[in-house]
Every structure is written in structure tokens, then in C-alpha cells.
Structure 1
Amino acid sequence: MIRVGRPSQESVPEKTPRDAAGRSLLTPVSSMRSFWGLMRAYWVSDRWKEAWTLTLVIALLTALSSKAGVWFAEASGELVNSIAFFHDAANTTPLRSLLVNAGVLVLLVVLKDAGFTGIRSLVSATLHRKWRGWLDSRFNEALLDTNHTHFHAQHGSSGNAAPDNIDQRVQESIKDMTGGAIGLAMGVLGVATSLYFVGQKLLENSAEVKGLEFLGSYGSAVLAFLAVATYVPLNTWIAVKLGRLLERLNVRMQQSEGSYRGELTTFLRRSFHVAASQGEDVQKTMHNRLYVDIDRTWARLNIVNTGYNSFELIYNFIGARIVAYGPGLVPFIHNGFDLKGYITGSELVNSLISQCSWFIHVMPNIATLRANSQRVIELAQAIENVQHPQEFYSQTGRSDFHYTSQNPVFGLTIQKLELAHQGEDATPFLSAANLRFRRGEWTFLKGESGCGKTSLIKAINGLWPYGRGTIVFPEGVKSFYAAQEVKLQQVTLKQLVCLPGSERDHGDAQVASALHKAGLGDFIEHMADESREGKSWDQVLSGGQKQKLVVARIVLQQPGLLFLDEATGALDPDGKVAFHQAIKDNCPDVTVISVMHEAVAPRSMTGSEFYHSIVAIADGVATKKPLVPTLPAELTTILVQPRPVPRPVEDKWLRFSRRLKQK
């Protein structure tokens, strides 16, 4: 009897909509689909103590650095005053005063830059490392879940294209975004603390200004605040305009760099094939085309950056030499300040302008932060969108697959299956009315190239997006999908054999036995190595050896349901026989569905058939039939019974004559 509901994870690779409704809708990155959600996620996570401790230390050091800026302004005033009055008759110890004030100023610089600022840099770098590591783990967990999110996220929907260069988003965008955000946050905090400490000191040292007597003793402070409030916002508006252009160019630059780097990575992985096909010229043309986009964007970015740097230099000079010294000049002329008070007040205004100008100074960083955060948010949104794959694919076509389970005695069943391509009106290219695969049955999937053999295997395993039908798995049975191309990860040979499990799940003896049975016994002594002679296992092993490695996995994992998608394409005829024989000998009850291009299914060395049935695909229809026609079970039972041995004819005649005599 078929049980409709959530099948075992061992037998069904994808969750059904009914199952999805019962599980949590949250992914590890669900809260990161907005800018502020992305920014605060780390601080409200299970590692909030670590995040807030580092943040508070940074805040304390920033406040001390701002306070040191006030001390620096006062010390600068004292030093200038000691220089100005060096020859004054009232100054009895001019040299001593000069050296003491200079020493205090140097000490304050060391305390601020090497002490407060230096330690803050170390703590902020630690926060950067911790935050980036946490985000990286969240996105890795979200992408590498049992829902195959990393696979589905590379498909676009009707409203949004698939995110480009996911590797660049996870690696570079997260790294640059976290570093930029911490730097900007420290800048904001620095502005706030400077406004408090510097503003407080300006008010303390404020003097009356002629013509502004109604302000009383706060006249010079009001002039200083007014100068800052006029100069900084006006130039900030200009910086924002330039920053938006920088942001667009930064996004474009990241896309171009990511595409070029991705193509280089792909090229290096297929270096042999390029060399064998002498495709270097085509590869160079492709690289040149991709780099042209980088070069054009870079040229525009250089022009904008140069203009922005010039604007910033002019802004800094006017702010430090004119705006900072302007407000205190009026009271100084009218003897409201002495030289010391004037220099101190001007340095305080300069410090205030410098701190309030953080937005202008870091506008390129803000543009980069916005660009990086946008790319990370897009990835988080793409991850969230594919949590229900059928709903996601239904936006661009028909996707109505149902995955259920049944008693393992009945094996695997496929009902009313239709496979199509993207589009609501797409015509199915493959249909299968009713296919049943019994436990222990080996089935050979046959058809012309492009008829849909691999697509059928993918659909059974939940990896084909468009179509409809019901796939009923044997409950509690482990499945194994051996793809045509074998790509090996950068791990130990033992871990490669133990996939998809962990190397801790199996002992060395078990793995060694599996390697021996698969014909890879020569590599047993290298099980614990991630490489051999400086090369990864993906480079060391040939195509045939990689497919033998798949046999070792099958022998070790003992699946009950095995899908072979041209898994013997790189083996010679004897190797193909050995491949099948190893599975036959070590997995006696496995159900096998195999895609091959051979006209005739391979047989064992004794001539017996490995396969029991054939699924032939012709004219878009998949039909199943026995490999060798069989008679009904009743006739088969009679024919296999031993025939009675007849007695010799002479013996019958003797018995007949004997009876006549008796009569």
C-alpha cells in the first residue's frame, strides 16, 4: 500500500510540498534579505556575546581616541603659544616650556595613534574576521543543505535572473562588506564622540563676538558650529552625487571581475581538453572579450576616482586652513582670544570638521559597501526563493512532481510522468505512463542521444525542474546516483570513497576492502592523503579510475536503489563487466536503473545477463519490457520440473509376456 506523505530522507532526495508546509520556512540567511537585516544578523545570533563584547571595546577605544583629539588640540595650542612667546621677557624658562609642550604633544600622538587607534585596529580586525567567518558559515549552510539549494539557486525565475558568480559573492563581497561596514560604523561613532567632546570644549572656550553680542559668551562657538554646519553638508551633497556613480561602477566592476575569474577557473579545470582540441586561440579570444569589459569599466572608475580625490584634497585644504581658522579670527581680532586660545579653538574646529567629514572621506567605501551588500542580499534572496523548488520553477513553467513512498517490497514506481522544458506551453519531450522496478531488478535504459534518458534519471532524483508525475520510492531504502562525469573534491581518498557520508563512519579496513573490490587496490596505502605527488585526486585519477572509485563507493555504501548515468563510459569492455560484477557480487538486492549507449547490455564473463529488463525511449515515450521474453509463471513452473525417467522398452515387453503366462 502506498503511503502518501513525507518519505524517508534515505529514499527521496527532495522534499514534497506537503512536507515543506510542515517544516520551518527559515533558512540560515532568511534574516539577511535586507540591508539592516544583513548588518545586524551577527549581533542577534547565538554568538551575540562575542559580537557585542568586541563592539563595546571598539566603542570605548573610539571615545578615548576622540577625547585624545581634544587633548591634542590643547597641546597644539600650548606648543604654538610657547613658540610665540619664546622671547617674551615674562617667560623665564622658554626652552623648558617649549620642550615640555613638544614632548606632551608627541606623547599624546603616540598614545592616540599607537595606543587607542592601534589597539582599536586590532580589535576591529578581529571583529571583521569573526563576522566574516560567521556569515560565511551561514551562507555555506544555506547553500549546502539537503534541499540542493546550491543547484536550484543557479536557475533564474520569471522576475529575477540567477545570481552571477556565487563564489565571488560568498568570498569577496562578504569580506569587503564586513570590513567596510565596521570602518563606517567606527566613523559614525567617532563623529558622535567628537561632537560631544570637541563641542563641549568649544563651548567652554567660547568668547563674545562683536556684532553678535546677543549670543553672549557663546558667540565664537556658534560661529564655529555654523561654519561646520554649512561647509560639511554642502560638500557631502556633492560627495553623494559622485558616490552614486561610484556605486554603479563598483557593481559593474565586480560583475566583470567575477565573470573573468570564473572563466579562468573553469579553463584551468579543463586545461587538458583545451590542449587536446588545440582550443587556445578560442580561449584567448574569450579571455580578451571578458577583459575588455573590465578595462572599460576600470577606465571609467579611474576617471571618477581621480575627480573624487581632487575634490577631497580641495575640500580638506579649505576645511583645515580657511574654515577651521575663520570662526575664531573675528574674536581674535577684537582681543576676545589670545593666540593660544585662537590656535586651540581653530584646532578644535579642524578636528570637528575632520570627524564630521568622515562621510566624504569614506564615500568610495560607502559605494563599495552598498555594492557588496547588494550582491550578498541578492544571494540571500535567491536562496530563500528556492526553498520550495516546485513553487520556484512553477514561475517559469510547469512543475508538478509528487514524491511519495511505499512498502519496499513493491520497489520503485513511476506514474504518469511527463518531462518538459521551461515555459508554460512547453510540449513534453518524454512521457512514461507507468513504470515499475522490482526490488533486485536491473533495468537497462536505452534510447537515442538526446531522447531524455539522463533527464528521466534526474527527474526521479528530484533534479529536473519542469514536468509532472508521481515517483513512489521504496520506503527506508538508501539511493545512490552515479553521474556521468565524476568530479572529485579536495579531500582524502578515504573521504572520497565514503561520500556522501563521513570518513568517520567507516573504518580503514572497510574502505580498503571497497577499493580492492573496485580494482583500486594500488591506492590503499594512500587513503589518508589529500593529494599524490603534489596533485589532487581529481588530477591523479584517470576517467576510468574515477568510475572505479564510484564502484568503491557503491560497495561501501550498500544502496538499495542505484542510478547509473553512463557510469561506465570511460571503461573498456572488460572494465565494464568488472564494474557490473562488483555491484552484482556485493549488492545482491540492489535495484539498478542504468543509462548506457551500448546497443546490447553487458553480460558477465560466464555469459549470464546482468540486466533483467529494458526501458526503451522512442518517439518521446518510455516503455518497459523484459530483456528476454518470458513465459507465464504457470508454464515456467511445469517446464522446470524434472521429467520422469522412462524404463527400457524391452523391460515393458517382458512384463507383458509374463502377465500372459500367468493367465
Structure 2
Amino acid sequence: MVPSTFDPGPAVSGLDRKVVLDFFRLARGWWHGATARRAWFLTAALVCLLIISVAVNFLVNAWNRRFFDALEASDATTASWEVLHFGGLVVCAAAVGVCIVLARETLQVRWREWLIGRLLDRWIGQQRYYRMRLDHTEPANPEYRIADDTRMATEPIVDFAIGLVLSLVSALTFVGVLWFVGGALTVHVGETTLTLPGYMVLAAIVYGVSASLLMLWIGRLLPNEMARRNEAEAKLRFELTRLRENSESVALIRGEDDERRALSVTYAELVARALRVVRRNGQITWLMNGSSVFVPVLPLLLAAPKYLAGDFTLGQVTQLAGAFIQVQLAIAWLVDNYRAIAQCYASILRVTELTRAIDNVDSDLEARHAGGIILAPSSSGAVRFDELTIADRSGRVLIDRADARIEPGEKVMISGESGTGKSTLVRALAGLWPWGTGIIALPEGASIAFVPERAYLPAGSLRAALLYPAQSAAVDDPILTEALVKAGLGYLADRLGDVDHWDQLLSNGERQRLALARLLVQQPDLVILDSATTALDEAAEVEMLERLIAALHGATLISVGLRPSLETLHDRKLVLARGANGASLSSVALRRVSETQ
């Protein structure tokens, strides 16, 4: 494993408004279309429950005044009744709280479900997951962005929305308490008398706005630091997963020390980034902790002069203190939630980077289709290369103006020296290689199967691996068993229903045999093998290819990169020969074994 180099890049100050807007343009789709009814029902239910919750808090605030006034007046009867009333308020508050939790978490789960589905459709659709890697435009760890960052982006947003609604309704409700119960404060300065109407409201606004502005200034770099820490976390997880998946190869070559050094480098960078977040959190904690201690005391200090002057009762002081805290929480909501906002923004940024990369791939693909390699239907059923030029990403020509025609049912081998573009030609045939010009015509309406050197086996049962990518197809077990026997895997026939890690359990040769067994089941019209039997010994390779050709008698076969000894199984070969301006393509006739018998 080669240690990764982390580029710290420039620090970003504050939140990028465009990032947030781009995310919400994507995520708001849950409230439209087929999911709109559920989304709006959950949203409306949650808002109603929040309003009821504020109403219960207001009743508790009013109860405080009545109860403490009863205590101050030594009115045991009223105090006893208020204790009973308080029991009812507790039950109401608990019931509303349970309903809020159910509505909130259901909304979070359903919204994330929709968002992940949307991202998966865009990432997997039109093979963008492959094209981004091919273009080197894929953001790091897209799977982490889809699986984890969607959760860390959507769940806090719901919580923030709840907090904002509560703050708004609470502010409107309890500002009235501060204004009417708190009244005005009269201050004597020398011979001048100053009257401050609604002084408790004014104090709450001044303190809340000041604390919020100070928080924005202190924590302006935290979102960027959190995004960079999350990136390092994802990279460490990826490298650990990669080591586990390649554990046998690493163990065989005794690469543990090198792997440990590489992981140490990655983790050291993670620690450095995490410590930067720790320092930012420390700065924010100064303000948050100081505010949490000061806010409960501040209304008592403000009410003390009027209480000592006999203008307030003890019940009024406790009522004002509770109302002040509620208003303060509403105004200074940012102070208490800035760290969570920064974490949420870091995940929003990573999701947005993925969606932008997908958009860029789509734009590039449209531009290339306008002037790149054209995939066209062939009504005759033949495979044609018309003036086909294939280049690499830098524009260097690999294959120069190739013309060829492969008739239906013909067996053709493509050979040439390493680096002449054989595998790139296969990618172009699959529509995955956009760089170049000319036309590739493929049989119209034909079923086409590409078999790469490294066979992919999905997670699940052996049956699913054998039917992939048509796992839901209804195929009888005897057909699957026959395909396994012909592919030399008859000993696996009684394990069709077994679920296992087949990509790790089977050897390279067995995986290739399983991929060829798929062809025997699916019976495609056109088969393109890209070094698909290289893990087999020469005798097994000949036997396997003979069985495949016999079973797919009428199918067109294009074999790339096979051993020269297999030429006799083909009608002819197309040879890529290196030239000054790229490889040229020429045709050489062969005599198939079946023709000589």
C-alpha cells in the first residue's frame, strides 16, 4: 500500500451558501412527486406537535408563578392543588414528547431513504460510478458519502428545523410574558430619570444577538475543519477495508510492515485533522459554557431591583426567569447549535461534491457524444469498426482509423503486443471509453455479454452469482447445474442456495469458470471475452473455450488476449500492430478445428 498524501488546501471561512443551496435543491425532492403526501403529512404533524409542546411549556411557566406565589403567601391549599395540576402537565409533556420523537425520527428515516435512493440512481445510472473513476473526477469514498454523510446531513437538519420552529413559537409566546409581566425599568441617574419599556425583552435581544455574532466569528473555520476530518476518517476506513479484502495477497508476500507504515501515515493525518477540530471546539466551548452558566442568572439579576423594591412577587420573578431563558434560547439558538451545524455542513459539502461530480460527468459525456466514438446499431447483425480511432485521456492515439467487420456467428480473436489497446478496444465496444472518433456498430436488438479478466461475483447465493446480472430470472436448477458441470464446477452444484462470500471463497480460475457458466445459462447473441480465461492452464483453457463455442454455436464470439495456441478455435484474428501514429488493425484468416474435421 502506498501512503496517501493529504493536501490540506486553503482554509474556508464560514459556510458556502451555494453548497447549502445545491444540497437543498436535491434534497427537497422528497416533498414533491410520489413521496410528497407522506413527506408533508409528517412535516405538518411535527409542526403541530411542536406548537402543542410550546403551549405546554407556557402552561408550566404560568404554573411556576401560581405555585411560588402560593409558597410566598404560605397558602397550603393552593400549593397542594398546583402540585396536582403539575402532575397533569407532566403527563401531557411526556405524551407530546413521545409523539414528537416518533414523528421526528420517522421523518428523518424516510427522508434519508429517499435521498439515498436518489443518489444511488444517479451514481449507478449510465455507469457514472465507472466513468468518474475513468475520468479521475470521482470524489474520495463516494460510498461513505452515500451511506454515512446522507445521515449526518439530513438528521441534524430535521433537528435544526425543530429547534427553529420551537424557537420562533417560543419567542412569540414568551416575549409577551417578558413585556407584560416584566414591564418597564426606571433608572435614576443623578437628576435624570430613564424609563426602559420592556427592558427584559431588550436585554434578551441584545445578549442573544451579541452571543450569536461572537459564535459566528469564533467558529467560522470549524465547518471546513470538520469536513477535512471526515474525509480522513473515510480514507482510513477505506484503506482498512482494502487491506482486509486483499489479506491473502498481503500475507503471502509478507507485506504487513509496509501496510502498517502506510496506515500509520493515514492515521497520523487523521489525528492532525482531528486535533484541529478539537482546538476549534475548545474555543467554541468557552462561549457555550460561559453562556450556559450566565443565562439562568441574568434574568434574576435583572429582576432583582424590582423584586427588592416590592414591584415583583417571587412567583413573577420565577415566571420571568423561565420566560427569559426560553426567549434567550430562541434568539441565541445559533450559539447552542453551531457545532452541530458545522458537522452537518461538513456532510452536506461531501454529498454536494459527489452530486457535482456526477453532473460534470453528464456534461462531459454529452460533449463527447457530440464528437467522440459513436455507438450505432447494426441492422445486418455484424459488428463493424468504421474509421475507428481510439485515444487515451491525453489525446495520444492508441488505435488509428481501424476498419473491420465481424459477421454474425463468426469467432474472432483480437491479438497484439501489450499496450496496443486491446483492452481499451473492449471498453470502447462496451461504450465505456469515450476518447476517440469513428463508429462502432453492434447488432441491433442483440443480447451482448462482456466477460472481463476479473470476474465479479455479487454478494448472496451461488445461484444469484450464476444468474448475475439477471438475478431475478426464473431459471430451473437443472439448467444451472448443467452449466456448472460444463464449466468444470460440478462439485458446486449442490450449493446453489448457499449464501457465502464467493468472491473470496473461489480461486481466480474458479471465478472465471463461473463467469463462463453464466454465458451457458444466459445464451447471449454476442460474447466479448477480455482475457477471461487467463487464470486457467492451457489445456483447461482450450477445453473450456471449446465447450463454450459448442454451446453458443450461433453466437458471435470476440476473444481478446488469448494464448496463440487457441487460434485454431477461431475463424480469424484481428492483429493490432504498433505504428508511428498508433496501432493499426489487420485481419488474418485462420482454420478452425471444426473446419478441418
TM-score of the superposed pair, with normalisation by structure 1: 0.80
SS in 2 for 1:363: helix
Q: Deviations over 1:158-180 (max 9, x none)?
A: xxx43211011101110111111
Cα deviation per residue 1:373-426 (whole Å; 9 max; x = unaligned)?
Answer: 1211221222222235534669xxx961111112234x1001222222223xx3
CA distance in 1, matches of 2:294, 2:371: 64
Deviation of the 1:432 alpha carbon: 4.3
Deviation at 1:206, TM superposition (A): 4.3
* Aligned position for 1:653: none
Which residue, out of 529, 544, 555, partners 1:579? 544
Q: Secondary structure at the match of 1:617?
A: strand
Q: Secondary structure at the match of 1:149?
A: helix
1:615 aligned to which of 562, 565, 574 = 574
Decide which of 375, 380, 405 is 2:350's aligned counterpart. 375
Structure whose alpha-carbon radius of gyration is higher:
1
Aligned to 2:466: 497
How many Å apart are 1:596 and its aligned residue? Answer: 2.2
Work out the CA distance in 2 between the residues paired with 1:33 and 1:192. 23
**Structure-1 residue corresponding to 2:586:** 624
Structure 2 residue 326 is matched with structure 1 residue 351 = yes
CA distance in 2, matches of 1:560, 1:228: 76
Partner of 2:10: none
**What does 1:291-440 align with in structure 2 at a 5 Å threshold?**
291-322=267-298, 324-387=299-362, 390-391=365-366, 400-409=372-381, 411-423=382-394, 426-440=395-409
Counterpart for residue 565 of structure 1: 530
d(CA) in 1 for partners of 2:539, 2:591: 27
Query: Match for 1:78 among 49, 66, 82?
Result: 66
Residue from 433, 437, 451 that aligns with 1:482:
451
Does 2:439 match 1:470? Answer: yes
1:135 has 2:115 as partner:
yes
Whole-Å separation in 1 of the counterparts to 2:403 and 2:92: 80
User: Matches of 1:339 and 1:39 in 2, distance apart?
Assistant: 49
Structure richer in helix, relative to its length: 2
3-state secondary structure, aligned to 1:404: strand
Does structure 2 retain, via aligned residues, the 8 Å contact 1:390–1:400? no
Any conservation in 1 of the 2:22–2:352 contact (CA below 8 Å)? yes
283-292 or 380-389: bigger deviation: 380-389
Pairing 1:255–2:243 present: no
For residue 240 of structure 1, what is the amino acid of its counterpart? Answer: L
Matched, 1:232 2:208: yes
User: In 1, distance between residues paired with 2:91 and 2:585?
Assistant: 83
Please state how far the C-alpha of 1:110 moved relative to its aligned partner.
5.1
Which amino acid in structure 2 is aligned with residue 137 of structure 1?
Answer: G
AA of the residue aligned to 1:127: L
Among 469, 487, 493, the alignment partner of 1:518 is: 487
Does the CA-based 8 Å contact 1:208-1:336 persist in structure 2? Answer: no
Q: Write the distance in 2 (CA, Å) between the matches of 1:427 and 1:109.
A: 75
Map of 1:285 onto structure 2 = 261
3-state SS of 1:34 partner: helix
Residue aligning to 1:600: 565
Distance 2:135 2:300 in 1: 58
* Helix, strand or coil at the partner of 1:439: coil
- Asked whether the equivalents of residues 33 and 378 of structure 1 are also in contact (C-alpha less than 8 Å), the reply is no
Q: Deviation string for 1:417-457 (max 9, x for gaps)?
A: 2222223xx32122242111111111122122222111111
**Quick check: 1:206–1:220 contact (8 Å CA) kept in 2?**
no
What corresponds to 1:108 in structure 2?
89
* Identical counterparts, % of pairs: 23
2:152 matches 1:176 = yes
Structure 1 residues 43, 628: CA separation in 2 closer, same or farther (over 3 Å shift)?
closer
Q: Secondary structure at the match of 2:446?
A: coil
Q: Number of aligned pairs?
A: 567
The equivalent of 1:42 in structure 2 is 30
CA shift digits 1:517-555 (9 cap, x unpaired): 222222222212222xxxx11122111111111111111
In 1, the alpha carbon distance for the partners of 2:219 and 2:37 equals 35
**SS of the counterpart of 1:387?**
helix
Distance 1:399 1:569 in 2: 35
Counterpart of 1:286 in structure 2: which amino acid? A
Paired AA for residue 154 in structure 1: R
* 1:54 match: secondary structure: helix
- How far the C-alpha of 1:33 sits from its partner, in A, is 7.4
TM-score normalised by structure 2 residue count = 0.89
**Secondary structure in 2 matching 1:41:** helix
Determine helix, strand or coil for the equivalent of 1:163.
Answer: coil
